[in-house]
Amino acid sequence: MSADFKNQVVVVTGGSTGIGLSAARLFLAGGAKVVYVTGRNSGNLDKAVKTLGDGATGVVADVAKPADLEALKARIEADGHKLDVLVANAGIAENNDLGATDEALFDRIFDINVKGVYYTVQTLLPVLKDGSSIVLTGSIVGNKGMPRLSAYNASKAAVRSFARSFASDLKARAIRVNTVSPGVTRTPIMENGLKMDEDAINGFAAYLKEAAPLGRMAHPDEIAEAILFLASSKASYITGVELSVDGGLAQI
């Protein structure tokens, strides 16, 4: 990636691991002046900031808590910054079995993946520059009926829908809003949220070998590159779209 982001200020929610961490690293490699990375776990965030080096700023913030998002906005204002790019990437995935899903699980998924994305964008609007770019992390499952994941699937359909509406809502400010929808990507979400052990992950890999045109999982950098493309001036006439980055899994 060329220095497309020279001197730019970027927020990546959920930037402590996985896709968000890859994106933060690539923004800095592309010349960004400051990349704010957020997450709930301060230990993971500290580790990420150390790995990312100069330009990375960690802010502990839970996207499901509007007060945390207000504090993030206040931090950006106190630093005297305006945002060029917002990547609303934080999200969780947990299995929910139809017939045995308690309200707390349902609420957790929607509070983080749906309400969290909405309030991330709404709260940070005053610190976004006119002409800036917002990228939301959806998922190909927003258009699929993956078993045991109905709440997660629906939450990601909502994210894709937000990109369409926000692109209209932000017309007057020329802020572009797009969604990147990853396919199966090897990140800690598999162990942490989906509780997959090594056998389950290997089983998934074997399934993809058969089912997906590219026959493998993505590396998080491959998703991050698509996020950077949509965030960049190279995508200056692209808004409201969903870009699937899935090795073809959901395209055939």
CB of 98 to ligand NAP, least distance (A): 20
Binders in 137-156 for ligand NAP, by CB under 6 A: 137, 139
Is residue 194 within 8 Å of 95, Cβ to Cβ?
Answer: yes
For residue 91, how many other CB atoms are within 10 A of its CB?
Answer: 27
Instruction: Kindly state the helix (H) or strand (E) to which residue 11 belongs, with its residue range.
Output: strand 9-12
Residue 48, CA distances (Å) to 87, 161, 190 in order: 16, 30, 19
Which of 4, 62, 70, 225 touches ligand NAP (CB under 6 A)?
62
Closest CB to ligand NAP among 131 and 215?
215
Q: Is residue 13 involved in binding ligand NAP (CB under 6 A)?
A: yes
Residues 6+ apart with CB under 8 A from 9: 32, 33, 34, 35, 36, 76, 81, 82, 83, 84, 85
Which of 189, 224, 231, 235: binder of ligand NAP (CB under 6 A)?
189
Residue 58 lies near ligand NAP (rule: CB under 6 A): no
38, 60 contact by CB (below 8 A): yes
Q: What is the CA radius of gyration of the chain?
A: 17
Residue ranges in 78-97 that form contacts with ligand NAP under rule CB under 6 A: 89-93
Q: Which is nearer to ligand NAP, 53 or 80 (CB)?
A: 53
Q: Which among 217, 110, 210 has a CA at the least distance from the CA of 158?
A: 110
Residue 225 lies near ligand NAP (rule: CB under 6 A): no
Q: Please pick, among 118, 152, 207, 237, the residue that the annotation labels catalytic.
A: 152
> Which residue among 132, 187, 239, 244 contacts ligand NAP (CB under 6 A)?
187
Q: Which residues are catalytic?
A: 152
Where does this chain bind ligand NAP (CB under 6 A)?
13-20, 38-41, 44, 62-64, 89-93, 112, 116, 137, 139, 182, 184-185, 187-189, 192, 220
